[in-house]
Structure 1
Amino acid sequence: MPADKVAEHADALCYTDLIAGYYMGAADEVLQAIADYSAWFFVWDDRHDRDVVHGRSTAWRRLRHRLHVALDSPQDHLYHRDPLVAGFADSVVRLYSFLGRKWNTRFARHFHAVIEAYDREFHNRTRNIVPTVEEYLELRRLTFAHWIWTDLLEPSAGHELPTAVRKHPAYRRAALLSQDFAAWYNDLCSLAKELAGAEVHNLGISLVHHGGMTPEEAEADLRRRVEECAFAFLDAEKDVERLAVSVDDGSLRGRQLGAAVRACVGNMRNWFSSVYWFHHESGRYMVDSWADRSTPPYVTNEAAGAA
């Protein structure tokens, strides 16, 4: 983003505000690291979008490779000549400092999958392939980075959850509902922009293309889906509360684990309000005020990242 665009738009994009509303209770250094990583994620998403729009296949393949390598050896990429790679490495180094090696390995595994999902989206968009609803829902859980944002609940709570808790059906259901809500609400708020840009990656567009819906019907269907996520979460949240009680066996370790589970599910709940607020306050989604409804005003069309 050019300096004048930063001055005009950066604060209004509200990227760090979104994170501050989600990871409540996190230590300051944890919250700052996650907020910086989130801002990086949005910039990466915009670089990916411009690579698609301009057909920069070589540039995208280069960036994809660099991010995979930087994820596995971030210390070696802190001064990379591409600021996007250097910023990613800096974020990963900081995030890796909070919990143990197992958490770091899990985060890396999850983000490698996110990078590959972005590559599949690049393939679909450059070839004008609209995924089916089922294909899109599966891919969206990766491009939205469901498990990354869920992983980050743990350093926010100051406690790495054991596998038995993370993979417990109640915990996974609550986590997926909070993230599905966020991803699908994002699709709802992005639908006008992405229809204007003749894009192919949006749940509403899959509903139009493969479900025979009108854009208005697709919008109504998206609203129904996000409302159902919110109501279903209320039930899932109760199940996680029962899980928190069951792991608290009265020992110090048990009390700490129970408190961490409660902190994590509490922030899953916060995701609903934070995401809703963000999409109505961030300049990223104020499509009706843009000169070009398909392109945010802070995005430049110069060939950034093409080298």
Structure 2
Amino acid sequence: MIEKEFPRQLHPYWPTLQETTRAWLLKMGLMPADKVERYADGLCYTDLMAGYYLGAPVEVLQAIADYSAWFFVWDDRHDRDVVHRRDAAWARLRDCLHAALDAPWRHLQHEDALVAAFADSMIRLYSFLGESWNARFAAHFHEVIEAYDSEYRNRTTGRIPAVTEYLELRRLTFAHWIWLDLLEPAAHHEIPRSVLENPAYRKAGLACQDFAAWYNDLCSLPKELAGDEYHNLGISLIKHEGMTLEDAVTEVRRRVNGCISEFLAAEQEVAVLIGELRDGTWRGEPLADAVALNISNMRNWFSSVYWFHHESGRYQVDSWADRSTPPYISDQGERPGSAGIR
């Protein structure tokens, strides 16, 4: 269905994007040089963003791609902190990220490479639009950090959230609102609250992001079962709905397909909204153009996520020497809190 209904596209800057993000990972000390050389391109992090934010200015796409790569490294650090029960290290990182989000310029020289790189990303992302967008983005990411903290507590205590709770938490740990916020600098236009809260626009955004999160759950299920992970829609269905693994996979697939149907319906409704916005005024026309680009890029998220999960080495668990430990990370279990420190 994805290959037929959602043709794959890539931003023309993609080949250079791959090189520059690889260089940024090295510069910021987020991955050891040997890991970058061997795995960075195969992880396809830049492919994911280059398939989503089409039409973005090069400097915006570069900032988003670097931030996305940081996000994956942060996710891996979080996982290793859980595995090795590094409670103090995780709490320190959580608090530093909250602080860097509000005052990134104060953390550019932070001893932890993850914090310094995050500060670098925030300064760049905050430079594209106005203060109101920056405040909204920061508020959304504060929620993401807290959601990761909730996941940390759940995993270290062996608690598997019930399905409804999990779905609410997943919208935060997957950072739904962050990726939707970033549509705006990619379109050179901040979207007013009246449009953000329009039911059709909101439904389209949630559908593309829920698809991404649940398709991720589907594709990462083998990896997460191998790593004793507890945060996956399939695992919640098995634990709390009494499903077999096969039935849980079928149910996740059903929900994924439902997201596609919801988006296609919402896409038609947003087309009507765009027509209403296109009123010939100096404000209406640019806004209509931005909303049109945003809904087009929401559509791109389906194909980008689909191909990412089938091409990225992040999900090729059968090729790993240890199915519970990804080969592209440096596991610093013997040195609590040291992973990623420059």
With structure 2 as the length reference, what TM-score do the two structures score?
Answer: 0.88
Equivalent position SS for 2:283: helix
- Which residue of structure 2 lines up, in the alignment, with residue 144 of structure 1? 174
The equivalent of 1:217 in structure 2 is: 247
Matches within 5 A, 1:245-284: 245-284=275-314
2:327 paired residue number:
297
Write the letter of the residue equivalent to 2:193: T
Q: Look up the match of 1:72.
A: 102
Q: Distance in 1 between matches of 2:180 and 2:250?
A: 28
**Amino acid of the residue matched to residue 2 of structure 1?**
P
What amino acid does structure 2 have at the position aligned with 1:240?
Answer: V
AA in 2 matched with 1:50: R
4+ aligned runs moved over 6 Å, structure 1: none
Counterpart Cα distance in 2 of 1:203 and 1:29: 36
Alpha-carbon distance, 1:224 to partner? 1.0
Please, which runs of 5 or more residues in structure 1 have no aligned partner? none
Distance 1:3 1:258 in 2: 45
Give yes or no for contact 2:67–2:118 (8 Å, CA) kept in 1: yes
Contact 2:105/2:123, CA 8 A, preserved across alignment: yes
Q: 1:225-245: per-residue Cα shift (whole Å, max 9, x none)?
A: 111111111000111111111
Residue 16 of structure 1 aligns with which residue?
46
1:129–1:200 CA contact under 8 A, matched in 2: yes
SS in 2 for 1:298: coil
2: CA distance, partners of 1:58 / 1:96? 30
Q: What are the Cα deviations for residues 139-175 of structure 1, in whole angstroms up to 9, with x where unaligned?
A: 0000000000000000000000110000111111000
Q: Structure 2 regions of 5+ residues with no counterpart?
A: 1-30
| RMSD of aligned alpha carbons | 1.0
Say whether the 8 Å CA contact 1:47–1:305 is kept in structure 2.
no
* Pairwise CA distance, 1:302: 1.5
Q: How many residues align?
A: 307
**TM-fit CA distance, 1:305:** 6.3
Q: Distance in 2 between matches of 1:94 and 1:214?
A: 46
The answer to whether the 8 Å contact 1:21/1:271 transfers is yes
Q: Which amino acid letter does the alignment assign opposite residue 128 of structure 2?
A: F
Letter in 1 for 2:130: G
- Give the aligned partner of residue 114 of structure 1: 144
Instruction: Give the conservation status (yes or no) of the 8 Å contact 1:31–1:156.
Output: yes
The percent identity for this pair of structures is 68
CA–CA separation in structure 1 for the residues paired with 2:228 and 2:113: 30
Indicate if the aligned counterparts of 2:203 and 2:262 stay in contact, CA closer than 8 A.
no
Partner of 2:212: 182
Q: Quick check: 34-43 or 230-239, which moved more?
A: 230-239
Q: Which residue of 2 aligns with 1:102?
A: 132
